Structure 1
Amino acid sequence: MEIKEIKDNTLKQEITRKVLRDLPEWFGIEESTKEYIDKVVNYPFIAAHIKGEVAGFYSLREENKDTLDMYVLGVLKKYHNKGVGTKLQEYVNDYAKVKKYKYMMVITLAKKANNYEYSLTRKFYLKMGFVDFYQNDDIFDSHNPAQILIKEVI
């Protein structure tokens, strides 16, 4: 597996489009998916490749000088539970350390939404060392309660 930062904006969008379109259970709201595809050009972008094929990516956004946000990320379904997300997160952990961030954060669907796919997402973040920080019913919308998880950069 090769993990590297991608600088080319067209490639960032192509990778994002390919991965998010493969994950409609997570990225099924078309306007949100299009917004992610459009905005990844503005942020640092890390991609994993296996035998030359894109396997997954992270797009990162600076929330403030101390906090790095996991803006959008995904792993192709065929690579789920094969260590791709873990390797990407390990790379991002090192990236955050080098850039001198104190915290990493991610916003996802809260447990109370009772969504199976997002229960897997939260389980992944918890395994990666994130902890529940704040839950809010209005960040996304009233039908999609949000959960913010944080992780200290050490």
Structure 2
Amino acid sequence: MTEIKQVLNQEEKSRVTNYILRQLPEWFGIEEAIVNYVNNVVNTEFYVYNISEQPVGLIGVQSNNKYTSEVYVMAILKEYQNRGIGKELLDSVEDDLKNKNIKFLMVKTLGDSHPDKYYKNTREFYFKTGFYPLEEIKEIWGKENPCLIMAKNL
């Protein structure tokens, strides 16, 4: 049985985030970044995709202003990727955001100028789900990790 559940409990948000991110070193391989996500996800609207009551995917969304929200973190266990789970999570979030009159959803990811093949797949996922690249900048994460800002109109 599958379900998407919004999680309000801060400890559960952190626990699920820690569990999933640590199984995805190709995307989340920096310990300091994992700790930051685990600590800061408590301040997001948080949704978990469960299969037989086991978390296999998550998305945390933060509000940037009264018009724009941002995907703070999104992760699907590797063995469950390419099954539509990410799209289902995004659809649930977008429905909730539209009901709150949010106009835009944005995401930051590793930019095109970086050769990482895993983030190439990430960018392709966001593009397929309606996000468009706005700008790649090096001032956020540094020259070695160019940040691509993508957005979609809700």
Task: Confirm or deny a common fold (TM above 0.5).
Answer: yes
Q: How far apart are the structure 1 equivalents of 2:153 and 2:101?
A: 11
Alpha-carbon RMSD across the aligned residues, in angstroms, is 0.7
Q: Which amino acid aligns with 1:48?
A: Y
* Corresponding residue of 2:41: 40
Structure 2: tracts of 5 or more residues without a match: none
Q: How far apart are the structure 2 equivalents of 1:36 and 1:52?
A: 22
The TM-score normalised by the length of structure 2 is 0.97
Cα deviation digits, residues 23-43 of structure 1 (max 9, x gap): 111111111110000011111
Q: Which amino acid aligns with 1:56?
A: G
- Taking every aligned residue pair, what percent have the same amino acid on both sides? 37
* Corresponding residue of 1:111: 112
Q: Which amino acid aligns with 1:55?
A: V
Q: Which amino acid aligns with 1:117?
A: Y
2:82 maps to 1:81 = yes
Q: How far apart are the structure 1 equivalents of 2:48 and 2:111?
A: 26
Runs of 4+ in 1 over 3 A off after TM superposition: none
How far is the alpha carbon of 1:46 from its aligned partner?
A: 0.7
* Corresponding residue of 1:96: 97
The number of residues matched between the two structures is: 153
How far is the alpha carbon of 1:83 from its aligned partner?
A: 1.2
Q: How far apart are the structure 2 equivalents of 1:138 and 1:48?
A: 33
Where do 1:5-154 residues align within 5 Å?
A: 5-153=6-154
Q: Which amino acid aligns with 1:47?
A: V
How far is the alpha carbon of 1:147 from its aligned partner?
A: 0.2
Q: Which amino acid aligns with 2:29?
A: G
The TM-score normalised by the length of structure 1 is 0.97
SS of 2:140's equivalent in the other structure is strand
How far is the alpha carbon of 1:52 from its aligned partner?
A: 1.2
SS of 2:146's equivalent in the other structure is strand
Q: How far apart are the structure 1 equivalents of 2:101 and 2:135?
A: 23
Q: Which amino acid aligns with 2:125?
A: F
How far is the alpha carbon of 1:114 from its aligned partner?
A: 1.1
